[in-house]
């Protein structure tokens, strides 16, 4: 039982490059989320989705785009990476019936130089 | 002011000590209160969940919520080195008409339990 899987685990980008982070969950959860975690800032919500084909902005959405074409996948895109986007990114999912429990992936460590 | 305030520590205690972790919050609409545990270089995982005010006990862990003071606590009894991790409080409100609750996290408190 894999739970929530994030790809890749590590990445170094140059300023201005683009990339996509992939999140896959096998728990049939309706809700999916992307967070970033920075020292001293805690977890901040970037975007979230309440179902296939729907996405919404969270607390810090600027510079990111997302898509949820399939229920089990949630993609986070950086169109033009900036050093301020250096962070650890976590994907999470939860069921509609129990959204107080979010299941997190192992994280993606992104460095933008 | 952040919606959820949590002292980041670090907190270092000897094995067997009682640990107290705390968060305060400003939004009186929060109804659900959680504690997540995050080991180094891992994703957070849910440790305890409480609805509204009161206490909840699970083994060595006790969660307390005082809504009148907007204050929540996590107590760890007989702490073990395996408890060394970052503990994040989280809170949720469920806006009227919305099916999705929004989680607000504290910054996390780093705990080290030494043998």
A102 with B6: Cβ contact below 8 A = no
pLDDT in tens, A33-42: 999 999 878 8
pLDDT in tens, B15-69: 999 999 999 999 888 989 999 999 999 999 999 989 888 899 999 999 999 999 9
Residue B97 pLDDT > 80, yes or no?
no
B32 touches chain A (CB under 8 A): yes
Q: How far is CA B86 from CA A98, B44, B112, in A?
A: 23, 9, 9
Across A42-67, b (16+ Cβ under 10 Å) vs e yields bbbbbbbbbeeeebeebebbeebebe
Token pair, residue A74, equals: 């949630």
Tell me the per-residue pLDDT of A64-112, one tens digit each, with 9 for 90 and over: 999 999 999 999 999 999 999 999 999 999 998 888 889 999 999 999 9
Interface test with A, best of B100, B101, B102, B106 (most A CBs within 10 A): B100
Evaluate if residue A1 carries a pLDDT over 70.
Answer: no
DSSP A102: P
């Amino acid at each position: 039982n894999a739970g929530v899987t994030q790809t890749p685990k590590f990445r170094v980008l140059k300023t201005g490059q683009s990339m996509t982070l992939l999140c896959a969950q096998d728990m049939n959860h309706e809700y999916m989320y992307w967070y970033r975690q920075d020292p001293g800032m805690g977890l901040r919500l970037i975007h979230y989705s309440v179902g296939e084909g729907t996405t919404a902005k969270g607390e810090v959405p600027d510079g990111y785009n997302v898509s949820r074409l399939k229920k089990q996948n949630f993609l986070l895109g950086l169109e033009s990476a900036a050093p301020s986007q250096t962070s650890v990114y976590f994907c999470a999912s939860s069921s509609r019936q129990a959204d107080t429990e979010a299941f997190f992936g192992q994280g993606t460590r992104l460095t933008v130089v | 002011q952040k919606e959820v305030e949590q002292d980041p520590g670090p907190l270092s205690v000897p094995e067997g000590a009682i640990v107290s972790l705390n968060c305060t919050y400003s939004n009186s609409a929060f109804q659900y209160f959680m504690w997540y545990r995050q080991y180094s270089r891992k994703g957070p995982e849910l440790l305890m969940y409480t609805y509204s005010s009161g206490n909840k006990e699970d083994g060595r862990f006790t969660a307390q919520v005082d809504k009148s003071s907007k204050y929540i606590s996590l107590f760890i009894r007989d702490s073990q080195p395996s408890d060394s991790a970052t503990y994040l409080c989280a809170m949720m409100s469920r806006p009227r008409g919305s099916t999705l609750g929004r989680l607000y996290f504290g910054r996390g408190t780093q705990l080290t339990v030494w043998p």
